[in-house]
Amino acid sequence: MATSPSGLPIKTIPGNYGIPILSPIYDRLQFYYFQGHMDYFKSRMTKNNSTVLRMNMPPGNFISPDPRVVAVLDAKSFRVLFDPSKVEKKNTVVGTYVPSQSLYSGIRPMAFLDTTEQLHSSLKSFSFHLLASRKSHFIPAFHKTYSSLFDSVEAKLASSPVEFNSLNQIAAFDFTCDAFLGAVPSEVIGPSASKKAAIWLLFQVHPIVSHLSKFIPWPIEDLLMHWVPLPPFLVRREYKALEEFFSKAGESLLEDATSKFGLSRHVALHNLIFMTTFNANTGFKVLMPTIVKWLAHAGEELHNKLAQEIRSAVKSSNGEITFNALGKMELTKSVVLEALRLDPPVENQFGHARMDLIIESHDMAFRVKKGEMICGYQPLAMRDEKVFENAEDFIPDRFVGDEGKKLLEYVYWSNGPQTVVPTVGNKQCPGKDMVILVGQLFVAHLFLRYDTFSAVHDGMLLLEPRMFFKSVKKASHK
């Protein structure tokens, strides 16, 4: 029997793609409406007794050219997707579907570029510059925006439970733009600014989402969202408003992009819109309610521990949340990482094999041919029982201490291991550290303000858990 370089037996990849056209459509309905994402992958993994298998990845016909993928569903095989020498990431950010370039004024944003494309290096260098030059603005911008959000939560709680997501949609967009650009879109564009960003996002990701409204029957939603692309001209007005806002608010950054990184203003502008609105803002829109979900699930005992840690760290920094104070919040950081492990903002990663490959799971090896699309489902890879004990459970202190830190190399939410540093030569999120920072800021503000709170999870809203605050208990001491 043939073996891999590390000595594992090489097996034929199990699974099949079924009947062309019909099977991909059937699988799409299973994925979105009848089984759900997790059970869709789990059922096929169980059926084939393998964590590496062939399957169809929705949305399938007729909206994507080829639904066939090799799925990698364990922590070891998933890592192939982070190796730029083995996989090509050109036009794979949304999987088997590629949005129209008309949504981006005719360009391909950095997320759609492969690492071998020169423009990718220039744009990623620009993104690092953006983050570094605006780092000192993150904490004050967050404090301003989310203090106002919690004021609204308290005011609305007097009459009924408060939906967090609608408030967070506005807050996340205002905070992101204020932190990156020094301008608040709800003040410049108006109260509808975040809705314009959300509508533009929907036009990009509609083929890969479902359950947009409980009032739309699934057959109608599937017909509208998953068969043909929504025409980009329908969102032209929303995008024009974003373009005008970013062009003015980002003037100095755009000058840097042209003078320091050799980018045209057009390419820099539309990448700035994408990085801020699609990457950062959408990530925060999903991250905050996800943290609320797991904190509410954990309950008051964890809340007390977090309050003690956060208040002690802030007290040692003259009563202010600083980078130094955040560095002392080990449990708080672990909570954020555990939430990202269980519910990463982006569920799937994709790439095409650059060459004939051998992919290894924990106990088998498999041959993948050049050009085949590889798909990894992160929530399963990061719930691998061979890596994480009680992998399905939310364990707040999982990443605390030396043993906890050893597990960080299997936390993949940022399109790369938590232990790896983003570079121009990889596809890891350039704002990886900022996301953790913002997650910690959110938890810190929550427990500086409250001793405890209660909230309920009421299904999904686009890509995020829909959360309702039911009660808050004001902090007994600061």
Q: Which segments are annotated as binding site?
A: 429
Q: Say if residues 342 and 39 touch (Cβ distance below 8 Å).
A: no
Residue 170 has which token pair?
């506005």
Q: Considering only CA atoms, which of 239, 244, 246, 249 is closest in space to residue 196?
A: 239
The dihedral sign for the CA sequence 213, 216, 222, 228: negative
Q: Which long-range contacts (CB under 8 A, 24 or more apart) does 250-257 make?
A: 250/180, 250/181, 253/130, 253/133, 253/180, 253/181, 256/126, 256/129, 256/133, 257/126
Q: Order across the sheet with 87-88: list the strands.
A: 52-56, 68-72, 373-377, 348-353, 87-88
Q: Say if residues 112 and 121 touch (Cβ distance below 8 Å).
A: no
Distance CA 207, CA 228 (A): 8
Residues comprising the binding site for heme? 429
CA dihedral 228, 368, 34, 218 (to 10 degrees): -10
Q: Which residues pair with 472 in a beta bridge?
A: 453
Secondary structure (3-state) at 455: strand
Torsion-angle region of 318 (φ positive above 0: left; ψ -120 to 50: alpha; else: beta):
left
Distance CA 300, CA 298 (A): 7
Beta strands in 32-73 (DSSP E): 52-56, 68-72
236-249 and 164-181 helices, crossing angle to 10°: 40
DSSP state of 12: P
